[in-house]
Chains A and B, each alone.
Chain A
């Protein structure tokens, strides 16, 4: 009973926050609300027994994402303009898609049902045998690092690739696009900029 109340309250808060994000035009407020939204999502994940996921969401969504977005707002400005075209067609598409998805949920097993198909296949084996095979009490770590280690290697490679891509996009000096030949070749790959500023200049954002 208490679980149901917490579940409904947190989900309602998440819905309200998301709606506020959609409506607001001040991007600074939007970014702050998206941090709150992530924190609510993390609380929701704790309630749903996914403590590792909640931990990650709290550190990543409410922490790093917000800092990065604010850093970008300091570079791009924090006011959203009203779009010129009418939102009727997007609204129609969204409502139709949502209705189709809601129709799809009627075939899904009830929330929290222990006999749902997802719980009957691979998961019992992990829960039952992983302690004897891997020797760790945290099943999530066992599955992440050992049973699905190949998968995790792929994920780490994706993070590596994204990091390299950001380095390629922002590593050079501003205004170097015109002449690639003028790009200073830096063997360390870092950006030694004489006048690198700190975040003092980011105004009220930080």
Chain B
């Protein structure tokens, strides 16, 4: 794909907007359609597009596999950690109402954090899977 000038330029223009859209979907998911699952996939697709157009070697420099692999686990830990935070706040496991004095504000914070955890795991898993498949020699 290195020689396709149109593809290279168009994808260079598109990738920042894909990432921006992913972040919008991530943090606006409380009010409109969207959330961590969708945002994670869209975020990963930006990296996959980069990998397809500019080669896997360059994509590995942008998203080092060592970091991405750790992010896979980090998202689950963020989610479970929020659950335990509710436990220490005096509520039940995953009871976000206990995170703040005002239960509704606590719910809002808790949902924001766990959606971030979901997005991290989904995005990192998709990027890792793509790297593994695309990097496999025939």
**Direct A–B contact present (CB less than 8 angstroms):** yes
Which residues of A are interface residues toward B (Cβ below 8 A)? 51-52, 54-56, 59-60, 63-64, 67-68, 71-72, 74-75, 132-138, 140-142, 144-146, 149-150, 152-153, 156-157, 159-160, 162-164, 166-167, 170-171, 174, 188-191, 193, 195-201, 206
At the interface, yes or no: B42 with Cβ under 8 Å from chain A?
A: yes
Complex-state Cα separation, A166 to B130, whole angstroms: 10
Q: Which residues of A contact B65 (CB under 8 A)?
A: 188, 190-191
Contact of B29 among A138, A174, A189 (CB under 8 A): A138
Contact of A174 among B93, B126, B136 (CB under 8 A): B136
List 21 A–B pairs whose Cβ atoms lie within 8 Å, in order of A's numbering: A55-B33, A55-B34, A56-B38, A63-B41, A67-B52, A71-B136, A134-B111, A141-B115, A142-B111, A150-B93, A152-B79, A156-B118, A160-B125, A164-B72, A167-B132, A188-B65, A196-B57, A196-B135, A197-B137, A198-B58, A199-B55
**B contact set with A: CB distance below 8 Å:** 1-2, 25, 29-35, 37-38, 41-42, 44-45, 48, 51-52, 54-58, 60, 64-66, 69, 72-73, 75-76, 79-80, 83, 93-94, 96, 103-105, 107-108, 110-111, 114-115, 117-118, 121-122, 124-126, 128-130, 132-138
Q: Are B118 and A68 in contact (CB under 8 A)?
A: no
CB closest residue in chain B, given A51:
B33
Nearest-CB distance from A5 to chain B (Å)?
A: 24
* Chief secondary structure at chain A's binding surface: helix
Separation of A178 and B79 alpha carbons in the complex (Å): 39
- Please measure, in the bound complex, the distance between the C-alpha atom of A166 and the C-alpha atom of B124, giving whole angstroms: 13
Main secondary structure, interface of B, reads helix
Report whether A52 and B66 are in contact in the complex, using a CB–CB cutoff of 8 Å: no
A156 partner residues in chain B, CB cutoff 8 A? 75-76, 79, 117-118, 121-122
User: Which residues from A are CB-within-8-Å of B57?
Assistant: 196, 198
Chain B residues in 8 Å Cβ range of A189: 66, 69
Q: Contacts of B103 on A, CB cut-off 8 Å?
A: 133
Residue of A nearest to B45 (CB): A63
Is the Cβ of B134 less than 8 Å from the Cβ of A163?
no
Give CA–CA (A91, B37) in the complex, Å. Answer: 37
Taking a contact as CB atoms closer than 8 A, the residue among B66, B73, B94 that contacts A149 in the complex is B94
Q: Are B35 and A144 in contact (CB under 8 A)?
A: yes
Check B128 against A166 for contact (C-beta < 8 Å): yes
Question: How far is B1's CA from A148's CA once the two chains are assembled, in angstroms?
Answer: 44
Residues of A within 8 A of B105 (CB): 135
Given contacts A156-B121, A159-B125, 19 further A-B contacts (CB under 8 A): A75-B133, A75-B136, A133-B104, A134-B104, A134-B108, A135-B104, A142-B111, A145-B111, A152-B118, A159-B122, A167-B69, A167-B128, A167-B132, A170-B133, A174-B136, A188-B65, A190-B66, A197-B56, A199-B51
